[in-house]
Amino acid sequence: MGSRQPLSRSRILDAAVSFADEHGVDALTMRKVADALDFRVMSLYNHVANKQEMLSGMLDVVVGEIDPPATEGSWKDVMQASAAAAHAVLSRHKWAAGEWSKRPPGPHRLRYIESILRILTEAELGPEVVYRGYHAVTMHIVGFTLQEIGYEETLGDNLEEMASAFLEEMGADYPYMAEHVRGHLGDHDHGDEFAFVLGLILDGLDRSTCKTRG
């Protein structure tokens, strides 16, 4: 808590990330971050420009936790593993996916983007498929995680309770949704959906390259 080492940008970002992990990004306040570090608010402004810039820095700290992709293996396996690593990190910092598209990329994210593009380029998919594939893959990583977290948070802790309440109240009006909710509840194993959908995209990219080639 109140460790009285001198303040620094890095210590501020770390404290802010921890706070957001624990209390959510909506509760994040310059004053709360300063409190956690046992300094007064205004001191923060000696090391970060303002709250927006601090949030950009926080996201880049998180992106820095994503392991760089493997240097060998089939491109699809490498891509799947790298996406899984990103997914794990974004699941650990539940506020981060929501910030992803709002913040300009910092140094860690630039390197991350570069690594994704490298995988796709070295797969020799052709420039057009690389271009579109990059957007498709990053969209999936961030979008899927965001959706997953959204489910958890809006349904709250008592997931089962909420779901069965929905089934009783509105199940008759929304038959297809009722069926879907039953799918969420049931003990049926849906496997790794994140990897499954990414697989569809990667296979599709592969196939559309073949079409272009031949």
Partner DNA sequence: ACCTGAACACCGTTCAAGT
Contacts of residue 128, Cβ cutoff 8 Å, sequence gap at least 6: 212
Size of the site for DNA (CB under 7 A): 18
Contacts of residue 80, Cβ cutoff 8 Å, sequence gap at least 6: 195, 198, 199, 202
Q: Among 35-43, 61-69, 132-140, 193-201, which window interacts with DNA (CB under 7 A)?
A: 35-43
CA atoms of 193 and 52, how far apart (whole Å): 33
Contact of 164 with 185, CB cutoff 8 Å: yes
117 touches DNA (CB under 7 A): no
31 touches DNA (CB under 7 A): yes
Site for a second copy in 42-101 (CB under 8 A): 98, 100-101
Q: Where are the alpha helices (DSSP H) in 73-106?
A: 75-92, 96-100
- x/- contact string, 8-47, with a second copy (CB under 8 A)? ----------------------------------------
Taking CB under 8 A as the criterion, the residue among 35, 121, 126, 171 binding a second copy is 121
From a second copy, DNA, none, which one binds at residue 171 (CB under 5 to 8 Å depending on kind)?
A: none
From DNA, a second copy, none, which one binds at residue 28 (CB under 5 to 8 Å depending on kind)?
A: DNA
103 touches a second copy (CB under 8 A): yes
Token representation of residue 109 = 């994210």
CA atoms of 201 and 136, how far apart (whole Å): 7
